[in-house]
Every structure is written in C-alpha cells, then in structure tokens.
C-alpha cells in the first residue's frame, strides 16, 4: 500500500465534497449569470458556498471573492492593489516576508511595486522588529503568511497587524496552509485581505478565495464580465466553488478532531526521528501546523532521499512541492539561515486526516533502512550527488 504524506501539496478530495459537486457537473445546467431558474439555482449554490467559506474564517459572506486558487488570490491582491493605488495616487512600497510562497514572491517581483523583504528569524518567525526594519515611509501594504507551507511555522500576526494599523498600512495574509488546520478569524484579526485555497483542505483543485475588507484598494486584474463583485471576470466554476463550500463546512465542524489526529502523528514521527542519527527538525521550537514536519538528514540529499522513499511507495516532499523541481536549497530555509548542505537535505512530511499511525511506522522504518544502508555506502551522500 502506498503511503501519501504530502498533504500540504494537495489533499485527496473528501468523498462528501465530491458528492456535493457531482450534481453541478452532470445534472444541473445553467450559467449563474443567467436570470432563468437554472441560472438562479447555480447562483444560489455559489452564495451558499460563500457563506460556508466565510464562516470557516470568521468573515462575512460579502467579503469572500472566489478565485481559481491561492495563486490567483495572491496575484489579484498584489496586482489589484498596485493598480488601484496607482489610480488613486497613493501608490507606495510593499513589505513582503522572505518566507512567502512563490505565488506572493513572484508577482511582487514582477509588478512595478517597490518591494522590501521582511527577514525571518532562525525559527522561521517574522518578528515585529523585522517588520519595523523593512518599513519605509512609503510602505502601503505588508504581506506575511499565516503559516508556512514548508516548515509549518505559524506566525503570530496580531502584533504585526497592529503595527500596520498604527502606520496606516494595509495587511495581507496568505492563509492557504492555515485554513482548515488551525482556527482563523478574519474579523478579529484586523487583516485587510486573506488568501485561501480549496485543495489544501480536502476540496477540489481550481477553487480559492481572497477575503477582503471593503477599505482595501483593489482593482480587477482581468477584464470581462462583472462576476464576483466586478473583481474576477469569468463564468464561475460552480462545481469547484460548491466543493470548496462543502470542504469549508466539514473543516469547521471537524477542526479540533483533525488537529488532534494529525498532531498525534506528527509527535510520533518527531519522537522516532530523534532516534535516527543526524536528523534536524527545522523550526522545532516554533509553534507549527499540527500536520507538518520538515527535517534535514546530515550528509544526505533531499531529492535523492525523496526518490528512495518513492521507490518504497512513500510520498513526501523535499521542500515546497511547487519548487521541488529545482535543486537549490529552499528559500524558506535559506531565510532561516540554515546552512546550504543541511537545507539541501530537507524532507517535508505533511499529514492529512486519512493518515494513520501505521503510516508513521512505515516511514520511520523506511528512513532507518535508507539512512543506515547509505551511511555504509556513500553513494547517496550529498557531496556525491
Ligand atoms: C502558502 C501557499 N500559498 C499559495 C499556494 C498556491 O495555492 P494554489 O495551488 O491553490 O494556487 C500554496 C500551494 O502550495 C501555498 O502553500
């Protein structure tokens, strides 16, 4: 039996989510913009999903803009903010944490916004000091993720958000990994924008949301129809949105149970890892997502380790799934000052609700085998690959 331990990359769609989506794929026709009953049915389904997604993150339904996923939400936020503030002549700099996902870092880099990096500390945390250092008089937006996809480190956002408010600055958080894993409250948090992605919480790929406060300046970035409050042109992906709504509803109902389940697996894995020589757990001391462990194995190459585990039918990631095609050390570990050799040996394990204790045992015994065999034959060691 194959063991899937890469739930931060994507989760298997929940059976109840799939069942909720199917009628909208094969039985109910209609474009949500059409005025007839078929259209209205689709529109109602979207609005119901909007309520569920809003409820998951403590927001109001009218604050939820559906997109195709976390990447689009981050692009809409950064691009839309730069366009609107330029129109209003309030265009300034943005401060972005060094450990953000590429879907924040890349649009920030390619837009004409001036970007200042906010440094992470060695625990993968973004401190108020680091934000202060990155701030300039012109900083108009700060973007710091709620939880990191590689290390799982959860940021303490409230002092950073308070600082942003004091400095008349907008605040965005990418909560793609946090949503469904830890409690979130958009209203209480004071953030002006929050990114969500459905396929990280047992929903379908191809649905996400940008939750926005009405004071945030935001222009649309694609032109066409007036869907999604005129912020996201294009016929809505109703089945995916319905699936996102159902996934959000289930995530909220099961939040505590899911959290305890994956945390027990994570703790068992970490205990086992500590008995294997040369293993370092990254950001071990930091508050982390209950399902995520990233570790390095001294002298090994992460990609090679990943392939060895894959041969044993165990799926993990060697860092962020989206960047694992590259062999450079992860930018997140680099930002945490992890030495290149250790960062290159990184493996990320991310548990999901379908994993069991036997998956932990399978992984630990595979790791022991691989590491022991290779410690006796240096073929796998980092210096040789
Ligand atoms: C923190 C974070 N933000 C954004 C994304 C992108 O989300 P999507 O795959 O829905 O575009 C990911 C996906 O890995 C992520 O981990």
| Residue range 34-88, pLDDT digits in tens | 999 999 999 999 999 999 999 999 999 999 999 999 999 999 999 999 999 999 9
Ligand 1 pocket check: which of 149, 180, 196, 204 to mutate, most ligand atoms within 8 Å of Cβ?
A: 149
Q: Report whether residue 103 contacts ligand 1, using a CB cutoff of 6 Å.
A: yes
Active site residue: 98, 117, 322, 364, which one?
322
Ligand 1 pocket check: which of 197, 319, 320 to mutate, most ligand atoms within 8 Å of Cβ?
A: 197
In which band, very low, low, confident or very high, does the pLDDT at 90 lie, cut at 50, 70 and 90?
Answer: confident
Q: Report whether residue 69 contacts ligand 1, using a CB cutoff of 6 Å.
A: yes
pLDDT of residue 111: 80
Report the mean per-residue pLDDT for the chain.
94
**Average pLDDT score over residue span 230-256:** 98
Q: What digits encode the pLDDT tens for the residues 111-136?
A: 866 899 999 999 999 999 999 999 99
Q: Does domain 3-9+256-384 have CATH number 3.40.50.11890?
A: no
Residue nearest to atom 14 of ligand 1 (CA): 9
Q: Report whether residue 97 contacts ligand 1, using a CB cutoff of 6 Å.
A: no
pLDDT of residue 277: 87
Q: What digits encode the pLDDT tens for the residues 311-321?
A: 999 999 986 44
Does the structure show a pLDDT above 50 at 237?
A: yes
Q: Alpha carbon of 109 to those of 79, 167, 170, 282: distances in Å? A: 11, 23, 19, 27
- Pairwise CA distance, residues 125 & 366, whole Å: 31
Same fold for the pair 3-9+256-384 and 15-250:
no
Q: Can you point out the beta strands (E) in the chain?
A: 3-4, 64-67, 93-97, 114-118, 139-143, 170-174, 193-197, 208-212, 279-281, 292-297, 314-315, 346-350
Nearest to 243 by CA among 7, 13, 17, 2: 17
Assess whether 169 carries a catalytic annotation: no
Q: Does domain 15-250 have CATH number 3.40.640.10?
A: yes
pLDDT of residue 169: 96
* Total-model pTM: 0.96
Percent of the chain at pLDDT > 90 equals 89
Q: Report whether residue 319 contacts ligand 1, using a CB cutoff of 6 Å.
A: no
pLDDT of residue 377: 61
Q: What are the extents of the domains in the chain?
A: 3-9+256-384, 15-250
**Ligand 1 mean position, distance from CA 103 (Å):** 7
Residue nearest to atom 5 of ligand 1 (CA): 70
Q: Report whether residue 149 contacts ligand 1, using a CB cutoff of 6 Å.
A: yes
**Ligand 1 mean position, distance from CA 353 (Å):** 19
Does the structure show a pLDDT above 70 at 375?
A: no
pLDDT of residue 385: 31
According to DSSP, the residues that pair with 4 across neighbouring strands are: 315
Nearest atom in ligand 1 to 148's CA: 1
Do 6 and 316 form a contact (C-beta atoms < 8 A)?
yes
């Amino acid at each position: 039996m194959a063991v899937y331990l890469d739930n931060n990359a994507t989760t298997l769609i929940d059976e109840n989510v799939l069942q909720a989506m199917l009628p909208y794929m094969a039985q109910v026709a209609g474009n949500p913009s059409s005025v007839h009953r078929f259209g209205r049915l689709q529109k109602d389904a979207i609005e119901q999903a909007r309520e569920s997604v809003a409820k998951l993150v403590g927001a109001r339904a009218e604050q939820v803009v559906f997109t195709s996923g976390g990447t689009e939400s981050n692009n809409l936020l950064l691009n839309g903010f730069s366009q609107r503030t330029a129109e209003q002549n309030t265009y300034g700099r943005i401060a972005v944490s060094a450990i953000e996902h590429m879907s924040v870092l890349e649009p920030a880099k390619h837009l004409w916004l001036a970007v200042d990096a906010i440094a992470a500390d060695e625990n993968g945390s973004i401190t108020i000091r680091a934000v202060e250092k990155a701030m300039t008089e012109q900083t108009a937006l700060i973007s710091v993720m709620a939880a990191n996809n590689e290390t799982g480190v959860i940021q303490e956002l409230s002092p950073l958000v308070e600082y942003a408010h004091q400095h008349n600055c907008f605040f965005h958080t990418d909560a793609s990994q946090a949503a469904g894993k830890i409690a979130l409250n958009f209203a209480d948090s004071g953030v002006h924008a929050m990114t969500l992605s459905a396929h990280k919480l047992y929903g379908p790929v191809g649905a996400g949301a940008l939750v926005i406060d009405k004071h945030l300046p935001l222009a649309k970035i694609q032109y066409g129809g007036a869907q999604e409050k005129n912020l996201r042109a294009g016929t809505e992906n109703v089945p995916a949105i319905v699936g996102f709504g159902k996934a959000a509803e289930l995530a909220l109902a099961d939040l505590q149970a899911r959290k305890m389940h994956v945390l027990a697996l994570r703790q068992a894995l970490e205990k086992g890892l500590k008995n294997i020589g040369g293993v370092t757990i990254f950001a071990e001391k930091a508050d982390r997502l209950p399902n995520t462990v990233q570790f390095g194995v001294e002298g090994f190459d992460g990609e090679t380790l990943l392939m060895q585990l894959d041969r044993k039918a165990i799926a993990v990631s060697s860092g962020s799934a989206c960047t694992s095609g590259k062999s450079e050390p992860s930018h997140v570990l680099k930002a945490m000052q992890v030495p290149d050799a250790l960062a290159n040996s990184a493996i990320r394990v991310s548990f999901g609700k379908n994993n069991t204790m036997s998956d932990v045992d399978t992984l630990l015994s595979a790791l022991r085998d691989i590491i022991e065999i290779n410690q006796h034959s240096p073929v796998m060691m980092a210096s040789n690959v």
